[in-house]
């Protein structure tokens, strides 16, 4: 197998010159809204209003690192995963995108460097090889973010690319030196958006999840509460509601406490921290369907860019994106929550 990319440890920066934030807008039915203009958005950084320097709706080309777990633990899923190459090239990359493919188990292997050649991407994924039983997820994520940090990004005076890390993996990490919070700090500073497709096997579920001892109060396949407006009712979303899990708060905590470990919901936290999304694969959603949903969102998504003004003090910087309420009262906005500036002594 190939040697892992060097410098997988994230390099923490102390200042940021440009902030790109992906913004997803949906109506009350959960449908994407793609008829807004720059003047419909308001954005603040630590409470200070910012001037939008670049505005785009799904048009900026994508640079993607496709990060695929190749652990023997998910061997039953390899036949399905090997068929996904054409979905990555057609629905995620699009006609002007580029992608690289990285596999990981106990090692991190660059299987294909950045290319605009769809055939190379599809062929690489079609011939994925099974590795060891390890899963250095966080080290692999750090390598992917490092690769993306060198791709050109859009600015006010020049075109660029959106940086996207696409992960196909179980959420469990085994053996990484990097902490999730470290990865997310660098992803935020590098304007990398993380999307993930949560892989699941019967064995993995038995190993990773405690048995649910809550009483069954509804028929199998149904949920005890009505769905939140505009939110698809899924096992992941319902577990989050039932267990009172605040993924946004957990994402901010992970970035602020980089030396502590996030034990659960790692992929959901990573997506939330960067403005992306996590889709679980379960009964009615295949791996292919999840990738297709992500591709559809990426190409119906707004990108807002600004050069921060106001306080450049170290610490966590909260980003808030809102809509002009008079015209967009019933629309819901999802964006990255912020970024962390480390002090020079860190």
Whole-prediction pTM value? 0.81
Establish if 15 belongs to a structural domain: no
Residues 54-110 have pLDDT tens digits of 899 988 899 999 999 999 989 889 999 999 999 999 999 989 999 999 999 999 999
Distance CA 231, CA 156 (A): 34
SS3 category, 302? strand
Domain count, the chain: 1
What phi and psi, each to the nearest 5 degrees, are found at residue 60? -60, 130
Rounded to the nearest integer, the mean pLDDT of the chain is 82
Establish if 320 belongs to a structural domain: no
CATH number at residue 97: 3.40.50.410
Work out the percent of the chain whose per-residue pLDDT is above 70: 77
22 vs 231, more confident? 22
Residues 247-284 have pLDDT tens digits of 888 788 788 777 777 767 899 999 999 999 999 886 66
Establish if 181 belongs to a structural domain: yes
pLDDT at 249: 81
Banded pLDDT at 312 (limits 50, 70, 90): confident
Establish if 263 belongs to a structural domain: yes
CA 191, 334, 198, 210 dihedral sign is: positive
Token pair recorded at residue 184: 């997310």
Residues 242-252 have pLDDT tens digits of 345 678 887 88
Establish if 31 belongs to a structural domain: no
Establish if 157 belongs to a structural domain: yes
SS3 category, 98? strand
Establish if 1 belongs to a structural domain: no
Q: Is the pLDDT of residue 42 over 80?
A: yes
pLDDT at 223: 46
Token pair recorded at residue 245: 């899990």
Establish if 114 belongs to a structural domain: yes
- Asked if residues 100 and 113 have their Cβ atoms less than 8 Å apart, the reply is yes
Domain of 133 in residue numbering reads as 60-209+228-300
224 vs 32, more confident? 32
The helix (H) or strand (E) run that includes residue 91 is none
pLDDT at 241: 40
């Amino acid at each position: 197998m190939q040697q892992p990319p060097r410098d997988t440890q994230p390099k923490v920066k102390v200042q940021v010159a440009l902030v790109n934030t992906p913004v997803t807008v949906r109506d009350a039915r959960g449908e994407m809204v793609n008829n807004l203009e720059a003047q419909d958005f308001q954005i603040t950084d630590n409470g200070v209003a910012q001037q939008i320097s670049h505005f785009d709706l799904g048009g900026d080309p994508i640079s993607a690192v496709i990060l695929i777990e190749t652990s023997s633990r998910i061997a039953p899923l390899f036949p399905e995963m090997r068929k996904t190459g054409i979905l990555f090239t057609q629905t995620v990359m699009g006609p002007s995108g580029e992608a690289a493919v990285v596999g990981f188990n106990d090692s991190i292997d660059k299987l294909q460097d950045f290319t605009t050649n769809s055939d190379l991407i599809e062929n690489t994924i079609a011939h994925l090889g099974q590795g060891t039983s390890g899963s250095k997820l966080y080290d692999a994520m750090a390598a992917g973010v490092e690769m993306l940090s060198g791709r050109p990004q859009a600015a006010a005076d020049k075109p660029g690319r959106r940086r996207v890390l696409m992960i196909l993996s179980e959420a469990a990490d085994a053996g990484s030196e990097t902490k999730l919070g470290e990865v997310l700090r660098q992803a935020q500073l590098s304007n990398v958006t993380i999307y993930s497709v949560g892989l699941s096997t019967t064995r993995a579920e038995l190993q990773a999840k405690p048995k649910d001892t809550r009483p069954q109060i509804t028929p199998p396949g149904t949920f005890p509460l009505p769905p939140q407006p505009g939110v698809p009712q899924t096992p992941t979303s319902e577990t989050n509601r039932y267990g009172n899990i605040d993924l946004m708060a957990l994402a901010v905590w992970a970035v602020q406490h980089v030396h502590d470990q996030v034990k659960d919901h790692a992929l959901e936290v990573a997506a939330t921290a960067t403005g992306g999304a996590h889709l679980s694969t379960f009964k009615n959603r295949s791996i292919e369907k999840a990738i297709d949903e992500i591709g559809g969102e990426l190409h119906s998504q707004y990108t807002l860019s600004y050069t921060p003004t106001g306080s450049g003090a170290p610490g966590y910087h909260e980003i808030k994106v809102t809509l002009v309420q008079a015209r967009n009262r019933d629309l819901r906005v999802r964006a990255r929550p912020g970024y962390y500036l480390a002090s020079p002594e860190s």
